[in-house]
DNA sequence: AGTTAGCACTCTCACTCGCCGATTGCTAAT
DNA sequence: ATTAGCAATCGGCGAGTGAGAGTGCTAACT
């Protein structure tokens, strides 16, 4: 009947994948999850037999439900309520039962168009992407900007803003501009800035950013001495040295969407999630681990690193710049989320970003 | 001197200031507002006589409360509850009764330090300011960046990012950098860019940005023809023409603070405010009108332009760049807010910004 | 042996009722 | 003009109740 996708994901949590259930159980579990995701109400045997043509009686369904409950795939909110999927139930559904969803051409185009609308600034691309994703999914979306390190130096501009401030704009081969204003303790000399940047642009052309050492910069700026902290700052931007990595900014949006979800009617839960957003560390970590994997990754309930997220699920996906994973986006919503749809959306988003970071390169090189 | 104003129903938005109340009423009204702001519980006659030494009996207090109620300064949530201030009550309190609060030196320093920590980028200064303010007040803080128009041209840099994209960095006499990436329909020529920016930098030096017309730019770029849309884009940044004004970005933060406020336990109200934040228009308008006034301005409940804000109050204040109001910051919280403290905080913030936008100028000119 | 109908049981939800406490407004006394 | 005393009013809270939904069990059926 239904073709079962191979299960090679979900290894992450060190748990062996669940054994395969027999056909009837499979079908019932799938239907319960589907129905619960659709309605948000605990699913009972009557609902199942009435709304879905299972070919068996409520009594039989009840027996199977009890069994699935015992095995940990389903849970009962209280004795006389229907069943609700447990983490394990969702996991089985996501790994084996869910039918992949395809987006309409309109949706694909919308995402692609929105991503393309973003300017060439590094940060705003990602900011925009997370914003689009959050409105489209009516969930929280979050993202980190691509690492620069695998991109290639094209141009740098050092603009004197004041005696002690320099605005740095770095342009990479992919047509992305990263920028930042640096303050210096000693005054900067406009002439020195110009000579240094000319030197940089002449000699660093084509280098991978990760390979540009601070010593190289120092050497190139030798003729035109620059304040040490300025050089260190530039080096940090260029090669993303050390601390730049932890400070990498997280873009998140769509928190207000949680208000619509019935599972967040409890203000304390809402608050816990908002605090998590504020703190950023946990979400950042999720995206970071996502960089290792290849495609979309789903984390359900307790699988997530924070106890406050035990009623949430997260879908993350990395995107590439060039041929390496350079950044990632994620969606955070209630466990009762439309997994298939969100995965389709986030896949599309990743594709669009990959394309953008690739397409720009060729366009810019032309 | 016991004047008894007999205007029964609280005249809706009659701008005329309320008549002065007699001493005892004044004292009672002030105490009720003070107590209610502190506790959030409706205030009854017993509480008043017990916690505050008024020198009169509960019965007398009751008579006065009834009178203040009739005149529209107080309201009763329900028949057998204590009194709660009405918009008019808060207004009287803010205008006449409230004792100005002074910040501790630590608080002043904290604000100043945080504002100074922001870089020289136009947007990030304001973003930072609103963030600081929101954490300090545990409310929503919002702000708009200063208009460039009254600042003076110092330098422009046009950086080619790709065939069809140029990154523009504009530096003003105040040491602020505004930037933006523009896309063009026709390809841009690196050489033309360089010549044009040299021309700009040579001839526009010292001009007020508002005075730089697109014709002037066209003339200066004449020798090195630039795509028309690029010139228009530059002109928009430089002189903030037309549409740039409505697009002026609003920085807001601290929405999660609302969760602590008991008046937002109702999810619908919370949602209404979050939608307002999302929409930006209303808050923007508030800041915009604040530009006309000199100091901090308080808007209470129904005085605010949106019905959704009828249970909120807003404090706004403009800040100056040079000698003109150029931007504004605001705080949004429940009507039951610590007016005196928030006004002190926002005054301090405005002072810090004024100082920053002044101090930078001299430092940068040196 | 697996499946099914019937049934008693359990539990939540929504609703009502009545009491308690808080606070008022009124009236009569000071 | 102020105050004490008092009846009246109303929201909030907990207990009580009935309806409804869903289960698990058992015995009968194929």
CATH value at residue B57: 1.10.10.10
Residues A241 and A170 occupy one common structural domain: yes
Average pLDDT over chain A, rounded to whole?
Answer: 87
Dihedral, A169, A171, A177, A179 alpha carbons, nearest 10: -20
In a domain? residue A13: no
Residues B309 and B196 occupy one common structural domain: no
CATH value at residue B191: 3.30.390.60
Which DSSP category does B223 fall into? S
Alpha-carbon separation of residue A107 from A112, A146, B37, B219, B344 (angstroms): 9, 24, 49, 45, 49
Instruction: Find where tokens 């730049």 sit.
Output: A244
In a domain? residue A166: yes
- Chain B partners within 8 Å of A183 (Cβ): 119-120
Does A119 contact B278 at a Cβ distance shorter than 8 Å? no
pLDDT value at position A363? 43
In a domain? residue A269: yes
Structural domain boundaries, residue A58: 23-97
Listing DSSP states for B70-109 in one string gives: HTTSEE-SSTTS-BEE-HHHHHHIIIIIPPPP---HHHHH
- Chain A partners within 8 Å of B165 (Cβ): 119-120, 175, 364
Task: Decide: A295 and A343 in contact? Cβ < 8 Å.
Answer: no
Residues B33 and B87 occupy one common structural domain: yes
Residue B228 has pLDDT above 90, yes or no: no
| Segments in chain B forming alpha helices (H) | 23-39, 45-51, 58-70, 87-92, 105-117, 122-137, 190-203, 214-220, 228-239, 243-246, 267-279, 281-290, 339-365
Residues B110 and B199 occupy one common structural domain: no
| C-alpha dihedral sign at A122, A355, B237, B161 | positive
- Chain B partners within 8 Å of A162 (Cβ): 120, 175, 360, 363-364
Q: In the predicted model, what is the mean pLDDT of residues B336-343?
A: 97
Mutation target among B153, B161, B172, B200 for the A interface, most CBs of A within 10 A = B161
Backbone phi, then psi, for B131, in 5-degree steps? -65, -45
Residue A45 has pLDDT above 90, yes or no: yes
Confirm whether any atom of chain D, the nucleic acid strand, is less than 7 Å from CB of A47: yes
Q: In the predicted model, what is the mean pLDDT of residues B159-173?
A: 89
Asked if A363 is an interface residue toward chain B (Cβ–Cβ < 8 A), one would say: yes
In a domain? residue A214: yes
Q: Please list, in sequence order, all residues whose beta carbon lies within 8 angstroms of the beta carbon of residue A210, skipping any fewer than 6 positions away.
A: A149, A150, A239, A240
CA of A9 to C1' of C12 (A): 39
Asked if B265 is an interface residue toward chain A (Cβ–Cβ < 8 A), one would say: yes
CA of A335 to C1' of D19 (A): 31
Confirm whether any atom of chain D, the nucleic acid strand, is less than 7 Å from CB of B81: yes
Residues in chain B: 366
Residues A120 and A255 occupy one common structural domain: yes
Question: For residue range B18-42, what is the model confidence (pLDDT) as tens digits?
Answer: 888 899 999 999 999 999 999 999 9
Residues B227 and B177 occupy one common structural domain: yes
Question: For residue range A187-238, what is the model confidence (pLDDT) as tens digits?
Answer: 998 899 999 999 999 999 989 888 888 888 888 887 777 888 898 888 888 8
pLDDT value at position B15? 54
Domain boundary among B56, B75, B97: B97
Paired with B300 in beta bridges are: B313
In a domain? residue B43: yes
Residues A239 and A316 occupy one common structural domain: no
Which DSSP category does A120 fall into? S
In a domain? residue A301: yes
Residues A189 and A335 occupy one common structural domain: no
Confirm whether any atom of chain C, the nucleic acid strand, is less than 7 Å from CB of B44: yes
Euclidean distance between CA atoms B324 and B346, whole angstroms: 18
Question: For residue range B60-107, what is the model confidence (pLDDT) as tens digits?
Answer: 999 999 999 999 999 999 999 999 999 999 999 999 999 999 999 999
User: Nearest 5 degrees, angle CA A272-CA A277-CA A283?
Assistant: 110
More confident residue, B20 or A78: A78
Residue B211 has pLDDT above 90, yes or no: no
Burial class for A224, CB neighbours closer than 10 Å (0-12, 13-18, 19+): middle
In a domain? residue B31: yes
Q: In the predicted model, what is the mean pLDDT of residues B194-203?
A: 92
Backbone phi, then psi, for A290, in 5-degree steps? -65, -25
Q: How many domains does chain B have?
A: 3
Mutation target among A181, A265, A278 for the B interface, most CBs of B within 10 A = A181
- Chain A partners within 8 Å of B366 (Cβ): 163
Confirm whether any atom of chain C, the nucleic acid strand, is less than 7 Å from CB of B307: no
Three-state DSSP class for A263? Answer: helix
Task: Detail the DSSP E strand segments found in A30-75.
Answer: 74-75
Confirm whether any atom of chain C, the nucleic acid strand, is less than 7 Å from CB of A79: yes
- Chain B partners within 8 Å of A159 (Cβ): 155, 157, 169, 171, 177
Domain boundary among B188, B213, B246: B246
| B330 band by pLDDT with thresholds 50, 70 and 90 | very high
Residues A52 and A201 occupy one common structural domain: no
Asked if A186 is an interface residue toward chain B (Cβ–Cβ < 8 A), one would say: no
Calculate helix-pair angle for B339-365, B105-117, nearest 10 degrees.
50
In a domain? residue A183: yes
Residue A63 has pLDDT above 80, yes or no: yes
Question: For residue range A262-298, what is the model confidence (pLDDT) as tens digits?
Answer: 888 888 899 999 999 999 999 999 999 999 999 999 9
Backbone phi, then psi, for B206, in 5-degree steps? 85, -5
| A335 band by pLDDT with thresholds 50, 70 and 90 | very high
More confident residue, A2 or A74: A74
Task: Give the residue among A203, A205, A201, A196 at the shortest CA–CA distance from A231.
Answer: A196
Instruction: Find where tokens 């405010």 sit.
Output: B273
Residue B3 has pLDDT above 70, yes or no: no
pLDDT value at position A71? 95
Protein-proximal nucleotides of chain C (any atom < 7 Å from a CB): 3-6, 9-12, 21-27
Residues A127 and A259 occupy one common structural domain: yes
Does A161 contact B175 at a Cβ distance shorter than 8 Å? yes
Does B271 contact A256 at a Cβ distance shorter than 8 Å? yes
More confident residue, B266 or B309: B309
Q: A207-211, A319-323, A340-344 — which one is most confidently predicted on average? A: A340-344
Residue B365 has pLDDT above 90, yes or no: no
Asked if A161 is an interface residue toward chain B (Cβ–Cβ < 8 A), one would say: yes
Task: Decide: A252 and A329 in contact? Cβ < 8 Å.
Answer: no
> For the ranges A200-204, B244-248, B262-266, B294-298, which has the lowest average pLDDT?
B244-248
CA of A80 to C1' of C9 (A): 10
pLDDT value at position A240? 66
Domain boundary among A218, A246, A274: A246
Task: Decide: B185 and B227 in contact? Cβ < 8 Å.
Answer: yes
pLDDT value at position B109? 94
Backbone phi, then psi, for A111, in 5-degree steps? -60, -50
Residues A292 and A357 occupy one common structural domain: yes
pLDDT value at position A197? 92
Task: Decide: B36 and B84 in contact? Cβ < 8 Å.
Answer: yes
| B363 band by pLDDT with thresholds 50, 70 and 90 | very low
Residues B180 and B293 occupy one common structural domain: no
More confident residue, B131 or A321: B131
Residue A361 has pLDDT above 50, yes or no: no
Q: In the predicted model, what is the mean pLDDT of residues A330-358?
A: 95
| A181 band by pLDDT with thresholds 50, 70 and 90 | confident
Asked if B275 is an interface residue toward chain A (Cβ–Cβ < 8 A), one would say: yes
Mutation target among A162, A254, A271, A279 for the B interface, most CBs of B within 10 A = A162
Share of chain B above pLDDT 70, in %: 91
Which chain B residue shows the shortest CA-CA distance from A172?
Answer: B161
Task: Decide: A158 and A168 in contact? Cβ < 8 Å.
Answer: yes
Confirm whether any atom of chain C, the nucleic acid strand, is less than 7 Å from CB of B57: no
């Amino acid at each position: 009947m239904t073709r079962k996708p191979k299960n090679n994901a979900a290894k992450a949590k060190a748990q062996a994948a669940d054994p395969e259930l027999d056909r009837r159980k499979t079908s019932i579990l799938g239907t319960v999850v589907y129905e619960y995701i659709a309605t948000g109400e605990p699913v009972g045997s009557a609902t199942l037999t009435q709304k879905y043509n299972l070919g068996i009686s409520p009594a039989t369904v009840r027996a199977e439900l009890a069994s699935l409950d015992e095995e940990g795939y389903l849970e009962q909110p209280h004795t006389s309520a229907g069943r609700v999927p447990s983490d394990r139930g969702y996991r089985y559904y996501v790994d084996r039962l869910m039918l992949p969803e395809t987006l309409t051409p309109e949706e694909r185009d919308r995402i692609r168009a929105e991503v393309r609308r973003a300017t060439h600034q590094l940060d705003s691309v990602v900011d925009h992407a997370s914003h689009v994703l959050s409105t489209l999914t009516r969930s929280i979306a979050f993202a980190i900007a691509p690492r620069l390190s695998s991109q290639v130096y094209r141009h740098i501009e050092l603009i004197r803003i004041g005696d002690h401030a320099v605005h740095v704009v770095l342009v990479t081969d992919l047509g992305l501009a990263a920028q930042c204003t640096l303050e210096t303790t000693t005054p900067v000399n406009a002439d020195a800035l110009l000579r240094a940047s000319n030197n940089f642009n002449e000699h660093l052309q084509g280098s991978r950013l990760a390979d540009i050492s601070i010593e190289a910069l120092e050497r190139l700026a030798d003729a035109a001495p620059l304040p040490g902290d300025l050089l260190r700052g530039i080096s940090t931007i260029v090669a993303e040295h050390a601390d730049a990595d932890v400070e990498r900014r997280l873009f998140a949006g769509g928190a207000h969407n949680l208000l619509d979800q019935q599972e967040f009617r409890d203000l304390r839960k809402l608050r816990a999630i908002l605090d998590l957003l504020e703190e950023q560390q946990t979400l950042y970590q999720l995206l970071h681990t996502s960089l290792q994997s290849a495609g979309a990754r789903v984390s359900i309930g307790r699988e997530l690193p924070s106890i406050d997220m035990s009623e949430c699920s997260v879908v993350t996906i990395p995107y590439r710049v060039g041929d390496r994973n350079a950044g990632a986006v994620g969606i955070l919503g209630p466990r009762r989320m439309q997994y298939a749809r969100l995965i389709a959306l986030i896949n599309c988003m990743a594709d669009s970003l990959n394309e953008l970071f690739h397409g720009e390169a060729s366009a810019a090189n032309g």
